């Protein structure tokens, strides 16, 4: 294939966020695909010309050596593909720690292949209730909830792996390894282009590790997109942040209301998230049978997993929708082991029952389950809610190819999300032909 592979690229630090960015590009009228690893030449030939290309990873659960090993080939692939902007897609809450999921380690690994001195950090995503004002991040705690400073957020401040105890993202990045983060604050966005360009040039003159850019509402995205693209046309760059990076870069939206059709057969949902939002969604799902699994026992006792699998398969074969949810393992067991156990259960369900639609709730759970299932790509079908995409899996395995897959983080989606997954929704966004 001659010429650049795509103008835009993204790497998702987990699977749920990666599909949200896929949806952003597809809704904007761009031909986009999400791969599950660096694609092969044969896979690239099958998908044809692209505007945006993504790779879904699991770096938010990795330590430094694992992250550097995983991201180096990603950076090299995109750099040699002619991509102008590589977006390191992190969670909209930027939750990360020095020892796990370190955003700074990830970006420093990727920027070796992208020489632009500007590393823009887009600090908010209003469509998900995330707002960055004067470098401080604020977030809603779920649908219709109040917005609070991140260090006072009822879920993120108490996150079991990456608790966010600092709302000032400059201080947060300093703890991760960037001691010099410059900032562009939102009052400057009302300036004309020349003034804003001069402010950015002044910030870059001090050779900062990155430039953090406020986002308080959707109107802030357009000037940031212009700044990033002007820089990328000079030299390819790495950008950091949630899907608002893509939102800022997509030149125009082509949205049209469409109905997500009801599922063609029973739906299976694996819930590894302990978020109150996800638990509310479970409580508002009368169309499902509920199976609860003790997380610690599930990891320690293989016979329990076999019993749960038989129970879930029996209900699915009887035509009933099933939610399988794990309990809190507390400090007794590593969350990664729980995610791996639930991933293996999900694989066994898909292998032994002809599912047409599958839902997975929880960032680590989604990442491990999709890795275990092993599709080579995902394309966008529709949005169930902001931050929650319904995708189609592409695989050389006939049991998996064509499976409709919903991945969601713990904080995402309205109370009736799982009901929409079964019965369809009028609020979805139409898939674009060829995506």
For residue range 108-154, list pLDDT tens digits in order.
999 999 989 999 999 999 999 999 999 999 999 766 578 999 999 98
Q: Is residue 198 part of a domain?
A: yes
Question: In this structure, are 95 and 242 located in the same domain?
Answer: yes
Question: In this structure, are 375 and 348 located in the same domain?
Answer: yes
Question: In this structure, are 292 and 191 located in the same domain?
Answer: no
pLDDT on residue 169: 97
Alpha helix positions (H), 148-249:
169-176, 193-205, 221-234, 244-249
Q: Is residue 434 part of a domain?
A: no
Question: In this structure, are 271 and 410 located in the same domain?
Answer: yes
**Residue 431 pLDDT > 70:** no
**Residue 305 pLDDT > 50:** yes
Question: In this structure, are 244 and 277 located in the same domain?
Answer: no
- Choose one of 193, 216, 249: the last residue of a domain: 249
Question: In this structure, are 177 and 304 located in the same domain?
Answer: no
CATH code of the domain containing 360: 3.40.980.20
Question: In this structure, are 180 and 267 located in the same domain?
Answer: no
Query: pTM for this structure?
Result: 0.71
pLDDT on residue 294: 81
> With contact defined as beta carbons under 8 Å apart, do 355 and 268 qualify?
yes
Question: In this structure, are 97 and 141 located in the same domain?
Answer: yes
Question: In this structure, are 64 and 88 located in the same domain?
Answer: yes
- Cα–Cα distances (Å) from 379 to 18, 21, 393, in that order, read 11, 11, 7
Question: In this structure, are 41 and 164 located in the same domain?
Answer: yes
> With contact defined as beta carbons under 8 Å apart, do 314 and 283 qualify?
no
pLDDT band for position 220 (cuts 50, 70, 90): very high
Query: What is the enclosing helix (H) or strand (E) of 211?
Result: strand 210-213
Taking CA 299 as the corner, what is the angle to CA 328 and CA 422, rounded to the nearest 5 degrees?
Answer: 65
**Residue 432 pLDDT > 60:** no
Question: In this structure, are 227 and 306 located in the same domain?
Answer: no
Average pLDDT, the chain: 87
Residues 383-395, mean pLDDT to the nearest whole number: 86
Residues 196-215, mean pLDDT to the nearest whole number: 96
pLDDT on residue 428: 39
Q: Is residue 3 part of a domain?
A: no
Q: Is residue 374 part of a domain?
A: yes
pLDDT on residue 134: 97
pLDDT on residue 224: 94
Q: Which has more confidence, 66 or 304?
A: 66
- Choose one of 198, 214, 249: the last residue of a domain: 249
Q: What is the DSSP string of 222-262?
A: HHHHHHHHHHHHHS-EEEEESTHHHHHH-S-----EEEEPP
pLDDT band for position 91 (cuts 50, 70, 90): very high
* Contacting residues for 396 by C-beta, under 8 A, at least 6 apart: 376
* Contacting residues for 281 by C-beta, under 8 A, at least 6 apart: 361, 413, 414, 415, 416, 417, 418
Q: How many domains does the chain have?
A: 2
pLDDT on residue 252: 47
3-state secondary structure of 58: coil
pLDDT on residue 2: 52
Residue 197's domain comprises: 8-249
- Cα of 238 vs its chain's centroid, Å: 17
Residues 189-212, mean pLDDT to the nearest whole number: 94
Q: Is residue 254 part of a domain?
A: no
Q: Is residue 268 part of a domain?
A: yes
Q: Is residue 435 part of a domain?
A: no
**Residue 363 pLDDT > 80:** no
As given in the structure block, the two tokens for residue 303 are 């016979």
pLDDT on residue 328: 67
How far is the C-alpha of 386 from the C-alpha of 186, rounded, in Å? 23
């Amino acid at each position: 294939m001659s010429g650049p592979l795509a103008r835009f690229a993204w790497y998702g630090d987990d699977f749920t966020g990666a599909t949200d960015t896929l949806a952003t590009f597809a809704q904007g009228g761009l031909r986009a695909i999400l791969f599950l690893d660096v694609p092969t030449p044969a896979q690239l030939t099958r998908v044809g010309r692209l505007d945006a290309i993504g790779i879904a990873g699991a770096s938010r659960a990795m330590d430094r050596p694992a992250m550097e090993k995983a991201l180096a080939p990603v950076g090299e692939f995109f750099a040699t593909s002619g991509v102008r902007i590589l977006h390191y897609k992190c969670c909209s809450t930027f939750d990360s720690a020095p020892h796990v999921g370190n955003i700074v380690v990830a970006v420093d690994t990727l920027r070796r292949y992208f020489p632009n001195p500007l590393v823009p950090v887009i600090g908010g995503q209003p469509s998900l209730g995330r707002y960055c004002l004067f470098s401080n991040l604020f977030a809603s705690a779920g649908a219709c909830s109040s917005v609070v400073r991140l260090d006072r957020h009822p879920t993120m401040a108490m996150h079991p792996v990456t608790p966010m105890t600092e709302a000032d993202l400059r201080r947060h990045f300093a703890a991760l390894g960037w001691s010099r983060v410059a900032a562009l604050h939102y009052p400057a966005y009302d300036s004309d282009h020349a003034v804003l360009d001069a402010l950015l040039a002044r910030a870059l003159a001090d050779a900062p590790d990155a430039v953090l850019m406020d986002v308080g509402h959707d109107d802030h995205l357009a000037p940031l997109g212009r700044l990033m693209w002007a820089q990328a046309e000079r030299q390819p760059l790495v950008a950091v942040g949630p899907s608002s990076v893509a939102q800022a870069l997509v030149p125009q939206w082509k949205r049209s209301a469409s109905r997500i059709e009801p599922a063609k057969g029973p739906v299976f949902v694996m819930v590894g998230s302990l978020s109150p939002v996800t638990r509310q969604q479970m409580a508002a799902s009368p169309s499902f049978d509920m199976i609860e699994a003790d997380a610690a026992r599930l990891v320690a006792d293989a016979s329990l997993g076999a019993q749960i699998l038989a129970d879930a398969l029996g209900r699915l074969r009887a035509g009933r929708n099933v939610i399988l949810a794990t309990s809190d393992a507390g400090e007794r067991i590593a969350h990664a082991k729980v995610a791996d156990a639930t991933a293996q259960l999900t694989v066994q369900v898909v292998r032994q029952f002809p599912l047409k639609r599958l839902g997975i709730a929880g960032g680590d759970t989604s990442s491990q389950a999709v890795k275990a299932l092993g599709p080579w790509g995902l394309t966008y079908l529709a949005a169930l809610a902001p931050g929650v995409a319904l995708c189609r899996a592409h695989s050389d395995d006939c049991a998996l190819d064509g499976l409709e897959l919903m991945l969601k983080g713990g904080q995402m989606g309205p109370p009736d999300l799982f009901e929409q997954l079964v019965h369809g929704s009028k609020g979805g966004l139409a898939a674009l032909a060829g995506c």
